[in-house]
């Protein structure tokens, strides 16, 4: 019996691993491909690529020294060497976590689920063998020893494939493979995923129900997986609310007079100041650790002390910046502070209030101006590290060019390890900004010019970022524009997102540059995957300021599933974007209509055209069931079934009648979308049986 259960358990977990393994355009070093200012001289990549001109020249040198006399084999070898420049090179050169000397060659003996050209896929591994098997290649990349085979013979200086491999079958077993949902194979040309054959259908509309009247900036699902969530406002108060079931007619249960924690004594509030973010440790249910990100005023709170962001390390004297709205440079500080829900001795999940006493100061940095400082914090779902989204710090057009300065933390996304807190002596020695350590795989290890805290740079004012619950490698950030363009970026390790060389896809020309300029040719800018021009908004919709959202992973609205939902702060407008083709990093977006459910628990205020009057869209939220919420100045709204607004969705009925499986258990619902969550529940059941607990 246990043998059968073991097989079932392993099969379940294998399915989970396969489901969560999704390809994304990435380079071998885990960085995002970049856009070239001019085509490479040797390799056939003239747009998105993983190689700069220096690396292109090195590949050409390797090709020349291979001394291949046969033109056909030379052409094949060139394409294989140049595959390291392919935007999908991380997938091509890494199979089952093992690095390869050559890309995965498309092999006809392995079934392919790819949308790549089938005729070419079936021929390429055979083509390599047939073309090069009798041709001498100096320092051949096809040597068995380079495939990690112990005891394999070392090739001579010049060798033929038939000297290294006994047959085409053996060769293609070692180097061949096929494309599937989690990888791609190489067919002799830059990888190109075909467009879907069926036209993209956009949702007919987004149905909302109003469940609360409060005005909140942040929402975080309770880490225990329950139907509760934390909400915080700009003033610095955090409440623990119970969310009603979909369609129950209930409203969110929140006692305004009894906040979970009140930080108003520490938080300085103004138009763009206040409590900007909160994050709960992934193990909060056990350790009770949680974090708040806010701005403080050092003239009003003694705890508001920190190093100025503009300092000698970045060749900046804050006294030379001048004042902004009457404030002295570094009067206001960005703070991340840690608190605890363990003080009462109860289990953290059952605690309903916490003391506003800092456990430790994680991060403090003085601001040069009084705007554009972001401040969201969140934990990475895969790595468990804390991310901080930081704007360029203010001043029209980033006059000191902080976002491109690798020695400044302004205009950056940072990544901290808050589980390994260094000693005071270590902090003093390293000159850090607070109590944290640096993850060993932060990009400074590859770019010594970067401060070690930096994960990505070239941000203007990131306002709401999120990880896709189903594909955590998709880290999407909305970045507020200056005068022309609002953008959404797909964030990757060490990525440079262009500001202030670019505003979105457009070159930006600052009106003043006391801090100097960065040339276009000196960076490899990654352009937005989504966005909109200010001119696309109606005149009566006011100014533009993007608010980032979530990739929708709930089955409540099956026609929204897999779409990235985002909005505009001032316009009260929303968009839904779909990736096409899947796993390509290419998105199509459209503005989405929305209305209020006729049976909304709280009546929605009406705007012209009988639309819900959302007011300002401050933020989006996601609960443990992956339902998405819109946090606005007029209240809290939840995305519900399309039929409640009389929107047509052919998938809704099918989902309602066929999805009879139980919901994910609370302890796992926050980690998996609905269907993988159910699979995980099954695996847990089998595991308990194996361990003898049932």
Q: Is residue 686 scored above 70 in pLDDT?
A: no
Q: With contact defined as beta carbons under 8 Å apart, do 365 and 433 qualify?
A: yes
Supply the pLDDT for residue 96.
Answer: 62
In this predicted model, what pLDDT tens digit does every residue of 639-683 receive, in sequence order? 999 999 999 998 887 655 444 333 333 333 333 333 334 333 344
Provide the Cα torsion 373, 379, 381, 383; round to 10°.
100
Cβ distance 420 to 397 under 8 Å?
Answer: no
Residues 466-484, mean pLDDT to the nearest whole number:
96
For the chain, what is the mean pLDDT?
85
Return the pLDDT at 434: 92
- pLDDT for 654 equals 62
Q: What is the average per-residue pLDDT within 206-219?
A: 96
In 3D, which of 632, 515, 642 has the Cα closest to residue 573?
Answer: 632
Q: What's the confidence (pLDDT) of residue 23?
A: 59
Name the token pair of 461: 């004012």
Express as a percent the part of the chain with pLDDT over 90: 64
- Is residue 599 classed exposed, middle or buried when 0-12, 13-18 and 19+ CB atoms within 10 A define those classes? exposed
User: Is pLDDT above 70 for 456?
Assistant: yes
Torsion of CA 294, 298, 303, 307, to 10 degrees: 80
Pair 301, 265: CB distance under 8 Å: yes
Residue 343 is predicted with a pLDDT of 66
Give the C-alpha separation, 244 to 58, whole Å: 60
Return the number of other C-beta atoms located less than 10 Å from residue 381's C-beta: 14
Per-residue three-class SS string for 648-680: CCHHHHHHHHHCCCCCCCHHHHCCCCHHHHHHH
Annotated domain spans of the chain: 1-25+669-694, 33-177, 221-559
Cβ contacts of residue 439 below 8 Å, gap of 6+?
Answer: 383, 385, 415, 416, 417
**For residues 570 and 545, is the Cβ–Cβ distance under 8 A?**
yes
Mark residue 180 as left, alpha or beta (left: phi above 0; alpha: psi -120 to 50; beta: remaining): beta
- pLDDT at residue 146 in the model: 63
Query: Which of 136, 137, 129 lies closest to 66, judged by CA?
Result: 137
Any residues with CB less than 8 A from the CB of 628 and at least 6 apart, and which? Answer: 549, 550, 552, 554, 565, 620, 621, 622, 638, 639
Q: Please write the tens of the pLDDT for every residue from 562-596.
A: 999 999 999 999 999 999 888 888 999 999 999 99
Q: Output the DSSP codes for 485-551.
A: EEEEEE--TT-B--TTTEETTEE---S--TT----GGG--BPPPSEEEEGGGS-GGG-S--EEEEEE
Q: Which of 54-58, 97-101, 110-114 has the lowest mean pLDDT?
A: 110-114
- Rounded distance, CA 569 to CA 541, Å? 10
Phi-psi map region of 73: left, alpha, beta (phi>0 left; psi -120 to 50 alpha): alpha
Sign of CA dihedral 251, 255, 261, 263: positive
Instruction: Give me the pLDDT at residue 655, please.
Output: 57
| Cβ count within 10 A of residue 124 | 26
Task: Specify whether the CB–CB gap between 212 and 251 falls below 8 A.
Answer: yes
Cis peptide before 500, with omega less than 30 degrees from 0?
yes
> How confident is the model at residue 327, as a pLDDT?
72
Kindly report the backbone phi and psi dihedral angles of residue 272, in degrees, each rounded to the nearest multiple of 5, phi listed first. Answer: -115, 10
- Tell me the mean pLDDT in the region 79-106: 88
Q: Average of pLDDT values for 458-477?
A: 96
- Percent of the chain at pLDDT > 70 equals 83
Q: What angle do CA 277, 392, 459 make, to 5 degrees?
A: 80
Bridge partners, residue 530, by sequence? 488
Distance CA 246, CA 241 (A): 15
Tokens linked to 196: 């879907």
Which pLDDT score, from 0 to 100, does residue 375 have?
A: 96
pLDDT by residue (tens digit) across 375-426?
A: 999 999 999 999 999 999 998 999 999 999 999 999 999 999 999 988 877 7
Contact 123, 108 (CB under 8 A): yes
**Span 622-626, mean pLDDT?**
98
Q: What's the confidence (pLDDT) of residue 149?
A: 40
For residue 691, pLDDT over 60 is answered with: no
What pLDDT score does 610 carry? 64
Of 237-251, 281-295, 324-338, 452-466, minimum mean pLDDT range: 324-338
pTM exceeds 0.85? no
Least Cα distance to 277 among 148, 349, 363 occurs for 363
pLDDT at 12 exceeding the cut of 50: no
CB 623 within 8 A of CB 636: no
What CATH architecture is 221-559?
A: 6 Propeller (2.120)
What count of other Cβ atoms lies within 10 Å of the Cβ of residue 60?
17
* Nearest by Cα to 311 from 247, 366, 238, 253: 366
Residue that wins the pLDDT comparison between 122 and 148: 122
Give the pLDDT confidence score for residue 37 in this predicted structure. 75
Which DSSP letter does residue 314 get?
G
603-608: long-range contacts, CB 8 A cutoff, minimum separation 24: 603/210, 604/208, 604/210, 604/637, 605/634, 607/572
List the one residue out of 245, 242, 66 whose CA is nearest residue 160: 66
Residue-wise pLDDT for 500-536, tens only, equals 999 999 999 999 888 899 999 899 899 999 999 999 9
Of residues 229 and 202, more confidently modeled: 229
Highest mean pLDDT, choosing among 135-149, 537-551, 648-662 = 537-551
């Amino acid at each position: 019996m246990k043998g059968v259960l073991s097989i079932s358990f392993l099969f379940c977990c294998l399915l989970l691993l396969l489901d969560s393994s999704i390809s994304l355009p990435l380079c071998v070093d885990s960085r995002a491909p970049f856009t070239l200012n001019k085509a490479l001289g040797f390799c056939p990549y003239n747009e998105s690529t993983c190689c700069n001109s220096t690396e292109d020249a090195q590949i050409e040198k390797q090709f020349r020294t291979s001394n291949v006399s046969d033109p056909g084999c030379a052409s094949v070898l060139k394409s294989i060497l140049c595959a390291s420049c392919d935007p999908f090179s991380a997938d091509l050169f890494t199979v089952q976590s093992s690095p390869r000397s050559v890309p995965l060659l498309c092999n006809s003996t392995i079934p392919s689920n790819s949308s790549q050209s089938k005729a070419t896929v079936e021929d390429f591994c055979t083509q390599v063998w047939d073309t090069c098997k009798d041709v001498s290649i100096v320092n051949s990349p096809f040597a068995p020893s380079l495939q990690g085979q112990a005891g394999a013979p070392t090739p001579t200086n010049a060798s033929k494939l038939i000297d290294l491999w006994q047959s085409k079958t053996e060769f293609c077993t070692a180097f061949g493979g096929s494309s599937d949902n989690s990888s791609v194979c190489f067919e002799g040309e830059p990888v190109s995923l075909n467009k879907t054959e069926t036209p993209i259908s956009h949702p007919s509309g987004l149905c909302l129900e109003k469940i609360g009247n409060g005005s909140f900036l942040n929402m975080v699902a309770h880490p225990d997986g329950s139907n509760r969530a934390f909400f915080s406002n700009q003033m610095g108060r955090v409440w623990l609310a119970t969310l009603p079931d979909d369609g129950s007619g209930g409203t969110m249960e929140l006692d305004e007079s009894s906040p979970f924690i009140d930080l108003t004594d520490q938080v300085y509030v103004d138009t763009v100041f206040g409590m900007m973010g909160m994050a709960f440790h992934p193990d909060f249910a056990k350790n009770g650790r949680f974090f708040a990100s806010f701005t403080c005023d050092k003239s009003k709170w003694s705890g508001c002390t920190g190093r100025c962001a503009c300092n000698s390390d970045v060749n900046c004297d804050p006294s030379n910046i001048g004042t902004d709205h009457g404030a002295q440079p570094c009067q206001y500080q960005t703070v991340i502070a840690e608190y605890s829900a363990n003080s009462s001795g109860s289990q953290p999940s059952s605690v309903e209030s916490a003391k506003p006493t800092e456990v430790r100061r994680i991060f403090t940095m003085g601001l040069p101006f009084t705007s554009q400082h972001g401040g969201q914090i969140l934990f990475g779902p895969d790595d468990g590290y804390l991310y901080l989204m930081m704007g360029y710090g203010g001043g029209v057009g980033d006059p000191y060019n902080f976002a491109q300065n690798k020695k400044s933390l302004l205009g950056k996304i940072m990544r901290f390890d808050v589980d390994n807190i260094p000693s005071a002596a270590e902090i003093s020695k390293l000159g850090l900004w607070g109590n944290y350590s640096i993850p060993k795989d932060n990009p400074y290890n590859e770019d010594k010019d970067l401060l070690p805290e930096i994960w990505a740079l070239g941000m203007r004012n990131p306002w709401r970022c999120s990880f896709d619950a189903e594909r955590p490698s998709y880290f999407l950030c909305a970045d507020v524009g200056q005068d022309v363009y609002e953008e959404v970026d797909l964030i990757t390790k060490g990525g440079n997102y262009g500001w202030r060389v670019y505003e979105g896809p457009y070159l930006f020309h600052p009106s003043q540059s006391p801090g100097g300029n960065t040339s276009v040719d000196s960076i490899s800018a990654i352009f937005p995957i989504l966005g909109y021009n200010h001119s696309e908004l109606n005149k009566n919709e006011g100014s533009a300021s993007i608010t980032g959202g979530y990739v929708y992973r709930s089955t409540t609205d099956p026609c929204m599933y897999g779409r990235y939902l985002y909005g505009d702060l001032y316009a009260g407008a929303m968009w839904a974007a779909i990736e096409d083709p899947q796993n390509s990093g290419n998105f199509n977006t459209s503005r989405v209509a929305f209305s209020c459910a006729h049976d909304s628990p709280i009546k929605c205020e009406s705007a012209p055209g009988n639309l819900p009057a959302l007011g300002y869209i401050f933020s989006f939220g996601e609960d443990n069931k992956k339902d998405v919420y819109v946090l606005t100045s007029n209240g809290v709204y939840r995305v519900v079934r399309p039929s409640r607004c009389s929107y047509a969705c052919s998938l809704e009925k099918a989902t309602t009648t066929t999805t009879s499986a139980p919901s994910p258990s609370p302890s796992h619902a926050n980690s998996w979308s609905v269907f993988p969550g159910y699979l995980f529940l099954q695996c847990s059941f089998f595991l308990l049986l194996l361990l003898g607990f049932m």
